[in-house]
Structure 1
Amino acid sequence: MTTLSRRGLLAAGGAVVVAAATSACSVKEPSSSSGQKAITFLTFETPNLTPAYWDAAIKRVTGKNPDIKVQKLVSPTADGRTDYAKQLLTSGQFPDVMIAVSPAGFAEAGALYAWSPAELKDFVYPTANPIKGKYYQLPANTQTIPPVYYNKPMFAEAGITTTPTTWAQLLTAAAALKAKGRTPFVVGGGKDAFASAMILDGIVSVDIYGTTPDWMTRRRAGTVKFSDADFTAALAKFADLAAKGYLKASDVSRDYAATEQAFLDGKGAMYPMGNWFAANADGKSHSFEIGVFNLPSADGRTVVPAYTGGGMIVSAKAANLDTAKRFALAFQVDKTQLDASVKADGLIPAIKGYTPPSTVGPVYRAGYDLYQQAVTKNEVVHAFRWETADDGLLPGMTDKVDAAAQDLITGRKNPAQAGAYLDAEWAKAGG
């Protein structure tokens, strides 16, 4: 994944970045006497993206560019990589290259290199995720967030013969599954709190962005709020799933890896998760056939939330800046690396002319085809919570969305309280 605990690292958000940017410097090994130029590269690890995956990816680039020497850094947690980058910045150890780290806050503080149009020529969406008119993160891949993966035998057992296309049909399916003693939805949380919010992310994307695509831009302008009726209705829709027992409050303590494994072990019928799950759906052992469908809208209209970005960002103050840029671009457009990212993390590379290998698994192929159909029909919207630019959440707010989702699942907050909480946190974040 780009599965992204943040807890305990930094709570100050973008303000910390602004305060530190002017004095931070990169930490790196000195260039070697052989003429190599050294850079530091911040990665993260997940069940999909193992140390071996990153080591092989780095070696592919350095094998073709022997003058580049890479020191790999690893975030202590997968979900906390952006906060870890902030921590490194404040301590004067900002990496030269980072992957899947949100540029928000860093870019505004002048800590990041802005890519030129010529450098972005190989990307399908070169103008994705602008920050004040500039582009700081390579728009390397697309992720749909969240499709709904489901256990086909459990659906059949419950008498569900077609996948839901409306919210009412989804609720009917959940009721039928619960009647058979099955947990309808697998959710998680723990140190990877985003796993609690996946369904909520999808509801907001489909219900709100589906009718008001620029809702987040309006939120930044202060013309809409989280406590408004439409957003509160989305919160209520999510809370209703927990109230009906279609997901378990006790599961919010389960981390991402355990959540994925719970679905693969047959502990629930539906698993709303980013399309990165397709890699393990096709590659990990399980005893049932997995299908996938789009999270339904109220009226059956197809709305597919997606995020394009997630690629490399480069420190503007890297001592070997040209080398850092060359490494980042070479990493992102290498065909072998793109194929590896498809296999390991279920990504949809947003590189011109790229097509996935014919050997991809059936779950990946099904999700890929759903996305391509949505692109053709202009049915794609931003994925709420996952945006990283001027039309995204303010720095630090993703944690607050995750916390609100957990509070709705456990009943600690009702929808109105959750909306008010998000508005209050937004104000604290500078909105």
Structure 2
Amino acid sequence: MANYPRSGSHTGFPVRSAARWLLSGLTGLLLLCGCHTQDASDASAAPAHRTSITALIWAPDWPEQMLQIAAEFSKRNPDVHVDVQFMIGNSVEENIKPRVAAGTLPDLVSVNPNAYSAELADQGVLADVSRTSAWSNMLAPLKRDWTSRGGKGFGISGGVATTMIYYNRDMFAKAGIDKLPTNFDEFLRVCAQLKRAGFTPIMLNGAFPNMLGNGPFASGFANGVVAHEPDWKSKLAVGTLDLDTPEVADIFARIALLPERGYVQAAFMTTGYDDGMRLFKDGKAAMAFQGSWSAGLLLHGNRFAVGVFIPPWNARGEPVVPVLGSETGFAVCETPNKAAAMRFLEFIAGQGFPILQRKRHNISPFRSNAGMAVSDPEIVGYTNAVSRYSITASPYYSTLPSNTLESLHGLMQDVLLKKMTAREAAKRLDKSIKNEAKMHYK
């Protein structure tokens, strides 16, 4: 900016001086105008129009990280504001369905890699993300989980999902347990040994059936159904897989057996997701049936060492079948803000992913940032080990039809509350599966 000269104390000065003064003043005025022009240019650099997108996210144990990702994205993309909303309840699907019916889906949404989400893609509700960098960078085996029958890539995985049993090494040592169980009979003996030593053997999330499904149900289905029926997935889809069997009833019976023998915490039917995690971290339960997504929380900040092992839900003499697949991920909806939502999806899977991983320590579903993302050696080793098994099962949320998922939650809780027998639960599960198949395969 130019400095204006002070006015002289006299009024009569030479014309040349006046001309110089006038020229200086005009120059200053021009410079001043130039400054205002530059300011206007700076102002025009800010986005003339700011798009606001809505993201509806399933994040029961990492809401702060999602907010951080959204804030960082908007900081780097000032033309887009992200309004983050969080799902509530017991499943992703129960949050999505009312919005699909009302036509009020957000721009970006958490989805599971299952038939329901795939159908939404083929119906034009979810956008095809197969041309994004995020899709290209996703591990090849996971892409099958996220491809619809019509060939659309309908989402990006939030991680490699596998379920395991976390255990308190100190409690196991004090109870004299020097060998991890390798089948269900041995697991029950370990529980009995822990109970005799004065410990609560295992935490059960009775008030959060999502984890009953991810935990004992999924492992029960893996070892009771998947292990004996190679074509289980296609048969389940068309309704020819028989689930009204003693083997399926035994899945429910084993869930009920744990509290019947006093192997779970008091008031287990009122234990939610966070409550259950706290019980384990506070040393009030020796084991927690959880997923790889909880590694960051369960493996760190404890007064004791923690280990993991494959849930031994197999019968004696039979090989165990672990659960391995894609975690709940992210999809873009067909809305007017699809382009901005696609940019946010790319950010979540790219620059934003380490923010997520610093909390969760899960296995990255992507190739290039796997080295950048924080993962615990214990979980990496576990996942590598189960991936080498000849037979693995999918997580329960990508196995069952969406309506059956909601039905299953109630069935498990009713069996635990002794409102229903395990055999009746199997019969109702079978009926739900067959009804869903009739609706979609007429």
Q: Which runs of 5+ in 2 are unaligned?
A: 1-45
Q: 5 Å matches for 1:20-39?
A: 34-39=48-53
SS class of match (2:291) = coil
Q: 5 Å matches for 1:350-361?
A: 350-356=365-371, 360=375
Q: Name the amino acid aligned to 2:56.
A: L
Question: Match for 1:397 among 364, 388, 404?
Answer: 404
Q: 5 Å matches for 1:186-205?
A: 186-190=203-207, 192-197=208-213, 198-205=215-222
TM-fit CA distance, 1:359: 6.3
Q: 5 Å matches for 1:287-306?
A: 287-296=303-312, 297-298=314-315, 299=317, 301-306=319-324
- Percent identity at matched positions? 21
State the match for 2:251 in structure 1.
Answer: 234
Which deviates more, 378-387 or 130-139? 378-387
> Cα distance 1:322–1:368, how it changes in 2: closer, same or farther (>3 A)?
same
Answering whether residue 364 of structure 2 is matched by residue 349 of structure 1, we say: yes
Partners of 1:183 and 1:269 within 8 A in 2 = yes
Q: 5 Å matches for 1:275-354?
A: 275-283=292-300, 285-296=301-312, 297-298=314-315, 299=317, 301-316=319-334, 318-334=335-351, 337-354=352-369
State the match for 1:129 in structure 2.
Answer: 146
Question: Match for 2:385 among 369, 373, 379?
Answer: 373
Larger radius of gyration: 2
TM-fit CA distance, 1:148: 0.2
State the match for 1:8 in structure 2.
Answer: none
In 1, the alpha carbon distance for the partners of 2:305 and 2:47 equals 55
State the match for 1:58 in structure 2.
Answer: 70
> Cα distance 1:205–1:333, how it changes in 2: closer, same or farther (>3 A)?
farther
Deviations 1:299-346, CA, capped at 9 Å, x for gaps: 363432122142211112x10222221221222133xx3222222223
Q: Judging by fraction of residues, say which structure has more helix.
A: 2
Q: Name the amino acid aligned to 2:52.
A: A
State the match for 1:87 in structure 2.
Answer: 98
> Aligned-residue CA RMSD in angstroms?
2.6
SS class of match (1:341) = helix
State the match for 1:72 in structure 2.
Answer: 84
TM-fit CA distance, 1:229: 3.5
Partners of 1:249 and 1:409 within 8 A in 2 = no
> Cα distance 1:134–1:105, how it changes in 2: closer, same or farther (>3 A)?
closer
In 2, the alpha carbon distance for the partners of 1:104 and 1:262 equals 37
In 1, the alpha carbon distance for the partners of 2:266 and 2:224 equals 24
> Cα distance 1:78–1:332, how it changes in 2: closer, same or farther (>3 A)?
farther
Q: Which runs of 5+ in 1 are unaligned?
A: 1-31
Deviations 1:42-66, CA, capped at 9 Å, x for gaps: 12443x313x312211133333333
> Cα distance 1:300–1:264, how it changes in 2: closer, same or farther (>3 A)?
farther
Q: Name the amino acid aligned to 2:309.
A: F
Q: Name the amino acid aligned to 1:62.
A: S
TM-score normalized with structure 1 length: 0.80
TM-fit CA distance, 1:152: 1.2
Partners of 1:174 and 1:184 within 8 A in 2 = yes
In 1, the alpha carbon distance for the partners of 2:406 and 2:221 equals 16
TM-fit CA distance, 1:220: 2.0
SS class of match (1:39) = strand
In 2, the alpha carbon distance for the partners of 1:184 and 1:156 equals 13
TM-score normalized with structure 2 length: 0.78
TM-fit CA distance, 1:397: 1.6
Q: Name the amino acid aligned to 2:55.
A: F
Partners of 2:220 and 2:251 within 8 A in 1 = yes
Partners of 1:311 and 1:332 within 8 A in 2 = no
> Cα distance 1:78–1:307, how it changes in 2: closer, same or farther (>3 A)?
farther
In 2, the alpha carbon distance for the partners of 1:321 and 1:358 equals 27
